[in-house]
Amino acid sequence: MASNPPEVLVGKRVEVLDKGWIELVDMLPSPATGVSGDLAIVNAARVSFMGESKGPEKDKKLLFYLLRNHHTSPFEMVEFKFRVRAPLVTWWQWARHRTWNFNAQSGRYSPFEENDFYVPDVWRKQAASNKQASDGEVDPATNDDLTNKLNEFYKKGYDLYEEALKAGVSKEMARLFLPGFSVYYTWVAKVDAHNLMQFLRLRMAPDAQYEIRVYAQAIYDEFFKPALPWTAEAYEEYILKSPSK
């Protein structure tokens, strides 16, 4: 059977990293329509024939045909809108996917909180064979020492940020004291199912940076797959197993 309308998914929030999260704000088709995402894709493909469901077996067969043969426009009829809290080191890569629509929190209007910084669980080593990747972990003693130094660095920067605010400096300038790559931002992000699959293919890959990989995996496991089970099944069969396509 196709998925049920995802009432339980809209409003769901999943924690990611140490202080981040992903929340599904809305979907198209709306749960209020009673039409599942998989069926919306099938209905869009049959628009030339003014047809809708022909039963689960034929509907699923058509959806698999569409994805297998790269007929992607029907998948653009399904959209996901998220609120995401992630460190800038993650957004730096996410925003490169220009098929998403974004609106971001502004540090010009809202002050940052003292704990709005990403602290990794482990410190990864530089990969010897890939200049832009990591491989393995540092030893436990070094890991603890680096984490302590990072927290001290955050505290110092935040203390200077507060000092500047108290001195009357504008929020847009006071934030220069904050460690840029690690500060958490909240964004609203919207994407259709076709372009989301391309994002997931790249960002769930083993060579993707860990910080964005865990967000992509959470989106796939907690939202995409429950909302579009037929699409996810076809995606795993035809896209993830053929990463060059």
pLDDT tens digits, 132-143 = 778 888 999 999
Name the band, by pLDDT with cuts 50, 70 and 90, for residue 180: confident
- Beta carbons of 211 and 17 less than 8 angstroms apart: yes
Asked if pLDDT for residue 52 goes beyond 80, the answer is no
Instruction: List, as one string, the DSSP characters of 137-198.
Output: E--HHHHHHHHHHHHHHHHHHHHHHHHHHHTT--HHHHGGGS-TTTBEEEEEEEEEHHHHHH
Claim: this prediction has a pTM higher than 0.85: yes
Query: What is the dotted CATH code of the domain comprising 13-103+184-238?
Result: 3.30.1360.170
Is residue 181 predicted with pLDDT exceeding 60?
yes
Q: How would residue 245 be classed by pLDDT, with cut points 50, 70 and 90?
A: very low
d(CA 18, CA 215): 12
Q: What percent of the chain has pLDDT over 70?
A: 93
**Torsion from C-alpha of 18, 19, 22, 23, nearest 10 degrees:** 140
The span from the CA of 95 to the CA of 86, in Å, is 12
d(CA 27, CA 189): 12
The pLDDT of residue 50 is above 60: no
16: confidence class by pLDDT, cuts 50, 70, 90 = very high
Is the confidence at residue 86, as pLDDT, over 60? yes
Residue 166 in contact with residue 204, Cβ under 8 Å?
no
Delimit the domains of the chain by residue range: 13-103+184-238, 119-177
pLDDT at 1 over 50: no
Whole-Å CA distances, 79 to 37, 38, 158, 182, 239: 9, 12, 38, 29, 19
Q: Cα(27)–Cα(179) distance, rounded to whole angstroms?
A: 34
Confidence band of 7 (pLDDT split at 50, 70, 90): low
Active centre residues (catalytic): 203
Rounded to an integer, the average pLDDT of 146-167 is 95
Give the pLDDT score at 58.
93
- Above 50 in pLDDT, residue 92? yes
Q: Which has more pLDDT, 189 or 181?
A: 189
Q: What is the pLDDT of residues 99-111, one digit of tens each?
A: 999 998 877 777 7
Give the Cα separation of 99 and 192 in Å (integer): 8
Over residues 79-101, the mean pLDDT reads 94
What pLDDT score was predicted for residue 51?
A: 59
CA distance readout (Å), 10 to 5, 116, 143, 182 = 10, 26, 38, 28
Q: What are the residues whose beta carbons fall under 8 Å from the beta carbon of 32, sequence distance 6 or more?
A: 5
Class of residue 217 by CB neighbours under 10 A (exposed 0-12, middle 13-18, buried 19+): middle
User: Residue 72 and residue 20: Cα distance in Å, rounded?
Assistant: 31
HSE of 237, CA atoms in CB hemisphere, 13 A: 14
Average pLDDT of the residues of the chain: 90
pLDDT tens-digit map of 223-239: 999 999 999 999 999 98
- Cα four-point dihedral sign 46, 2, 99, 70: negative
